[in-house]
């Protein structure tokens, strides 16, 4: 019950436990019309609104401030799959559908909805769209933005915009849905969406490769794309330290290569043709990569169980990072070809700043996206380390900017990174973003304090 503090508490705290807010009311409308009525009332009375989906956001974007003056609109009850159109390769959904439910509905129609990320069992598609979520399949299918054909949005004054198009091509003026995708609730409340589906993948080929350096990873990526093009569906890099930590802290994780290499890449191909054996393609590309010196060894999964086992390394290093106290907060991107130099620059400059700091690096390298985390030097307490974090963060963002990168590749800005947005976004872009905000939310009532600082 919304009036019960125990019920309310987890809904007013973000998923990382960094922000806790209060609210004037916590609303759970069941229809677009009800959302519209709430927004209209709030607009008339000058009350700020915080839209919330599965509350899995990493930057506090769905948590109200502490004033108790804001109204939270949860989309949770709007969880209907409106229609699945297999021959159109589209699905129409309410914004409160859990991502995994959409994946399942697509699968039942022998289709794939490719968005996939750790929180898929609880995150909701409205939030995925509002944050332009990334995840594991971006290399093959693009970000959430690339998967959205149409949107239904309750605008800041309560007006319902029915933009539920199922059109691949539509050049009737500005493509306004693009402004709501990735706007983190600051322009309106997304209540529905039309999403693209794809032929369901039927076969996979998966390999774990050992590498001496990230230059090799870059070569491997190019070789993989030349051989397998858009069949490349996973390209996850993991540093030696992350695997060593997983081996130490996670039960049942055996070292895949002995000695552990400096870098490991989990490479996966997929294809929707059940009779299409990807084995020869994978073998050919690995042979070329070995010959080329891009990789030093490779393990090829020959069964579904072995494939699952290779993916366990990727999952284990995330869990191990948390146990080790790695500060899990960096989600940067740089041009793919810059990644080797970028990581070398970070490793050396951060070590200069705090000798012994442990870079804990993994990432979706095919997208140029690295989760460059840091763990405290051996023997340093979390408390002491915390004192160094702001300087380490600032340096990492500076290096990212120097490499023409982004301080937020997939997690967005929320309330956690409004300062970085002001600092690192080119001036004209920041001013334009402010102008757009003012144009679509003139009263400034849509999720204030997110993306832009609270005023």
Closest separation in Å from C-beta 291 to its own copies? 17
Residue 455 lies near its own copies (rule: CB under 8 A): no
Q: How far apart are CA 278 and CA 263, in angstroms?
A: 24
CB of 10 to its own copies, least distance (A): 25
Nearest to 372 by CA among 381, 295, 403: 403
Of 40 and 165, nearer to its own copies (C-beta) is 165
The nearest distance, CB 391 to its own copies, in angstroms, is: 22
Mutual orientation of helices 240-249 and 304-324 as an angle, nearest 10°? Answer: 90
Q: Verify binding: residue 25, its own copies, rule CB under 8 A.
A: no
**For its own copies, which residue of 108, 175, 277, 291 counts as binding (CB under 8 A)?**
175
Q: Does 36 sit near its own copies (CB under 8 A)? A: no
Q: Which of 114, 134, 256, 448 binds its own copies (CB under 8 A)?
A: 134
Pairing assessment for the beta strands 25-27 and 71-74 based on DSSP bridges: parallel
Applying CB under 8 A, which of residues 336, 345, 353, 380 lies at the interface with its own copies?
336
Q: Are 136 and 123 in contact (CB under 8 A)?
A: no
Q: Which of 25, 41, 66, 167 binds its own copies (CB under 8 A)?
A: 167
CB nearer to its own copies: give 153 or 375: 153
From the list 48-56, 247-255, 373-381, 408-416, the region that binds its own copies by CB under 8 A is 408-416
Task: Considering only residues 349 through 368, tell me which ones interact with its own copies, judged by CB under 8 A.
Answer: 364, 367-368
Residue 310 within binding range of its own copies, rule CB under 8 A: no
Span from 96-104, 136-144, 245-253, 260-268 in contact with its own copies (CB under 8 A):
136-144
Name the one range near its own copies by CB under 8 A: 120-128, 170-178, 315-323, 391-399.
170-178
Q: Which of 410, 415, 416, 449 binds its own copies (CB under 8 A)?
A: 410
Between 124 and 310, whose beta carbon lies closer to its own copies? 124
Task: Kindly state the smallest distance separating residue 419's Cβ from its own copies, in Å.
Answer: 12
Give least dist CB 385 to its own copies, A: 27
Q: Please report, for residues 23, 323, 348, the alpha-carbon distance to residue 361 in angstroms, rounded to integers and kept in the order given.
A: 38, 15, 14
H-run or E-run covering 50: strand 49-52
| Binding-site member from 32, 52, 281, 309 for its own copies (CB under 8 A) | 281
Size of the site for its own copies (CB under 8 A): 88
Among 55, 116, 132, 447, binds its own copies (CB under 8 A): 132
Assess 114 for contact with its own copies (CB under 8 A).
Answer: no
Chain centre to alpha carbon of residue 393 = 19
DSSP character string of 67-122: TS-PEEEE-TT---EEEEETTTTEEEEETT-BHHHHHHHHHHTTEE-----TTTTT
Q: CB-wise, 109 or 353, nearer to its own copies?
A: 109
CB burial readout 120-133, b (16+ within 10 A) else e: beebbbbbbbbbbb
Yes or no: say if 133 and 115 are a contact pair by the CB < 8 Å rule.
yes
Q: For strand 71-74 and strand 49-52, is the pairing parallel, antiparallel, or unpaired?
A: parallel
Site for its own copies in 369-398 (CB under 8 A): 369
Does 18 engage in binding with its own copies (CB under 8 A)?
Answer: no
Interacting residues with its own copies between 53 and 112 (CB under 8 A): 85-90
Q: What is residue 235's DSSP assignment? A: E
210-269: which residues touch its own copies (CB under 8 A)?
Answer: 218, 221-222, 225-230
The token pair that represents 390 in the structure block: 């702001």
Backbone phi, then psi, for 351, in 5-degree steps? -70, -30
Nearest Cα residue to 305 out of 204, 228, 202, 210: 204
* x/- letters, 139..158, toward its own copies (CB under 8 A): ---xx-xx--------x---
What is the Cα–Cα distance from 395 to 350, expressed in whole angstroms? 7
Applying CB under 8 A, among 440, 446, 447, 448 the residue interacting with its own copies is 440
User: b vs e for 73-91, b when ≥16 Cβ sit within 10 Å of the residue's Cβ?
Assistant: bbbbebbebeebeeeebbb
Does an H or E element contain 163, and which? Answer: strand 160-163
Q: Kindly state the helix (H) or strand (E) to which residue 287 belongs, with its residue range.
A: helix 279-291
Using the rule CB under 8 A, which residue among 170, 292, 304, 384 binds its own copies?
A: 170
Does residue 283 interact with its own copies by CB under 8 A? Answer: no
Q: Tell me if 119 contacts its own copies by CB under 8 A.
A: no
Binding residues among 316-335 for its own copies as defined by CB under 8 A = 333-335
């Amino acid at each position: 019950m919304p009036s019960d503090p125990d019920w309310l508490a987890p809904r007013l705290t973000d998923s990382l436990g960094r922000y806790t807010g209060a609210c004037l009311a916590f609303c759970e409308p069941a229809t677009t019309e009800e959302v519209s009525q709430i927004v209209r009332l709030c607009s008339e009375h000058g009350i700020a609104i915080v839209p919330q989906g599965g509350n899995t956001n990493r930057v506090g974007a769905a948590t109200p401030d502490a004033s108790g003056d804001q109204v939270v609109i949860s989309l949770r009850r709007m969880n209907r799959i409106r229609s699945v159109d297999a021959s159109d390769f589209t699905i129409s959904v309410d914004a409160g559908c859990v991502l995994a439910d959409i994946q399942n509905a697509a699968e039942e129609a022998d289709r794939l909805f490719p968005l996939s990320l750790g929180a898929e069992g609880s995150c909701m598609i409205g939030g995925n769209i509002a944050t332009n979520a990334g995840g594991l399949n971006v290399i093959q299918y693009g970000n959430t933005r690339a998967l959205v054909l149409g949107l239904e949005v309750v605008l800041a004054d309560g007006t319902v915009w029915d933009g539920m198009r199922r059109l691949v091509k539509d050049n009737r003026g500005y493509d306004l849905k693009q402004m709501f995708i990735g706007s983190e609730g600051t322009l309106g409340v997304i209540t529905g969406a039309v999403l693209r589906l794809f032929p369901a993948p039927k076969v996979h080929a998966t390999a774990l490769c050992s590498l001496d350096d990230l230059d090799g990873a870059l070569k491997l990526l190019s070789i993989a794309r030349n051989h397998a093009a858009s069949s490349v569906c996973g390209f996850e890099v993991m540093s030696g330290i992350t695997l060593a930590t997983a081996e130490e802290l996670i039960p049942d994780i055996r070292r895949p290569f002995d000695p552990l290499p400096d870098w490991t890449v989990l490479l996966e191909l997929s294809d929707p043709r059940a009779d299409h054996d990807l084995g020869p393609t994978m073998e050919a590309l690995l042979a070329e990569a070995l010959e080329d010196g891009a990789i030093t060894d490779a393990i090829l999964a020959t069964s579904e169980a072995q494939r699952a086992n290779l993916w366990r390394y990727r999952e284990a290093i995330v869990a191990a990072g948390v146990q080790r106290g790695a500060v899990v907060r960096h989600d940067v991107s740089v041009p793919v070809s810059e990644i080797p130099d970028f990581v070398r620059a970070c490793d050396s400059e951060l070590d200069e700043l705090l000798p012994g700091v442990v870079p804990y690096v993994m990432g979706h390298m095919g997208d140029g996206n690295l989760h460059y985390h840091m763990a405290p030097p051996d023997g340093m307490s979390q408390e002491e380390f915390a004192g160094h974090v702001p300087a380490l963060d600032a340096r990492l963002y500076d290096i990212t900017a120097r490499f023409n990168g982004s301080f937020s590749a997939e997690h967005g800005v929320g309330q956690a990174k409004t300062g970085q947005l002001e600092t690192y976004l080119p001036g004209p872009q920041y001013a334009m973003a402010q102008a757009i905000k003012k144009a679509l939310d003139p009263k400034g009532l849509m999720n204030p304090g997110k993306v832009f600082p609270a005023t």
